């Protein structure tokens, strides 16, 4: 069983950057995106600091973020990658199923991947992700390479926004 202490705070800097971006988008009236907390059950609590030191996840999470952008329902998951090969084992079947159902309901699902060694954010449309997912299910590579990705979906650096994904969301919508 996965526990909180084994997973640590992986991705917390990425999460902070996305949360700040979402606050900026909200202040600007562009989007309302919320972080979906993963329910946990504490096992050990340090009585002196009142911090949870060990917990287990109550249920499988779906996506990291969900909300609306100018009336369009969106959901996305954020992942960090320290190399040019993204292992699909970082994504779970129930997440893919949720995103697929979300899109069937008229929403837009995507992944934000931070290639930390490149200091590069990438917007991965769900439909493109699904190609890699299906390839793996059919016995192909269980990962995808940075070089396989469309460079047009690299997020541009923008002043005042940490993870400016709305431009790529717009591109994704336009190309559908």
Known binding residues for Mg(2+): 62, 64, 77, 95
Residues 136 and 142 sit within 8 Å (Cβ to Cβ): yes
User: Which residues belong to the annotated binding site?
Assistant: 62, 64, 77, 95
Cα dihedral 42, 46, 47, 49 in deg (nearest 10): -110
Query: Which residues does 146 contact at the CB level (< 8 Å), separation at least 6?
Result: 84, 85, 86, 115, 118
Locate 133 and state its tokens: 């997912």
Rounded Cα gap, residues 148 and 96, in angstroms: 20
Residues 18 and 112 sit within 8 Å (Cβ to Cβ): yes
Rounded Cα gap, residues 138 and 136, in angstroms: 5
């Amino acid at each position: 069983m996965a526990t909180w202490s084994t997973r640590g705070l992986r991705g917390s800097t990425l999460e902070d950057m996305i949360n700040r971006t979402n606050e900026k988008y909200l202040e600007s009236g562009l989007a309302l995106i919320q972080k979906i907390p993963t329910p946990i059950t504490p096992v050990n609590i340090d009585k002196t600091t009142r911090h949870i030191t060990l917990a287990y996840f109550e249920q499988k999470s779906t996506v990291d973020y969900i909300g609306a952008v100018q009336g369009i329902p969106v959901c996305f998951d954020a992942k960090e990658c320290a190399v040019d090969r993204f292992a699909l084992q970082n994504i779970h079947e129930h997440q893919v199923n949720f995103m697929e159902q979300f899109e069937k309901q008229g929403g837009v699902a995507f992944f934000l991947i931070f290639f930390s060694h490149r200091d590069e954010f990438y917007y991965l449309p769900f439909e493109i992700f699904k190609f890699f997912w299906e390839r793996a299910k059919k016995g192909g590579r269980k990962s995808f390479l940075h070089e396989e990705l469309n460079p047009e979906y690299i997020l541009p650096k923008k002043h005042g926004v940490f993870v400016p994904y709305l431009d790529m969301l717009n591109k994704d919508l336009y190309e559908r």
